[in-house]
Amino acid sequence: MGYTVTHIIDTDVDGLWQLFFDVEVAHAMVREYNNMGSFEIVEDRVDEHGMRHRRIECRSNVELPDFVKKLVGDGSYTEFGSFDTLQKKYSAYAVPKIGTDKFKTSFEMSARPIEDGSRCERRIVVENTIKVFGIGGMLARVLEHAQRDAHEQSAKFINTWIQAQRVPPSSNA
């Protein structure tokens, strides 16, 4: 089950990627939205071809019903991602700590300049696959809803962060 979300971000494409990889911004977002859990970047490297690879251990802070916990544990997962510095595209997949044979999520994030290039449109394409007989469709809808909310929160947070960091133009200019 796949879906696509887009958001207008109040910076240029390079600025978006700088914020995306900024650990301070990510930790501030987790603090702001306490429901996101926590994460630890355990690998962040650039290979000989210029691809940036990240492995992130994510711990969920979401309360799950007991029957869901039996399938996915506490919802914690590892994200394996790579950023193509030429195409400026981040592709990743998530591997849950429990239920790796039943749950798969992958996504691709890209951005394109809009207006005069001072803003961009962030596009996230997500594919969720859930193989649980009888309730897979319902779980996929719940997961998609939670992911869409998280994407909306992140866009709002990033734009607020950008506005707070901007210095007004000098009146002496």
**Does the reported pTM lie above 0.75?**
yes
Contact 78, 94 (CB under 8 A): yes
- Quick: pLDDT tens for 69-106: 777 778 789 999 999 999 999 999 999 988 888 889 99
- Taking the C-alpha atoms of residue 146 and residue 126, their distance in angstroms, rounded to an integer, is 12
149-163 tens-digit pLDDT: 989 999 999 999 999
Residue 6: pLDDT band with limits 50, 70, 90: very high
Domain-wise residue ranges, the chain: 2-164
- Cα separation of 82 and 79, whole Å? 10
Level-2 CATH architecture, domain 2-164: 2-Layer Sandwich (3.30)
- Tell me: the pLDDT tens digits for 48-75? 999 999 999 998 776 767 777 777 778 7
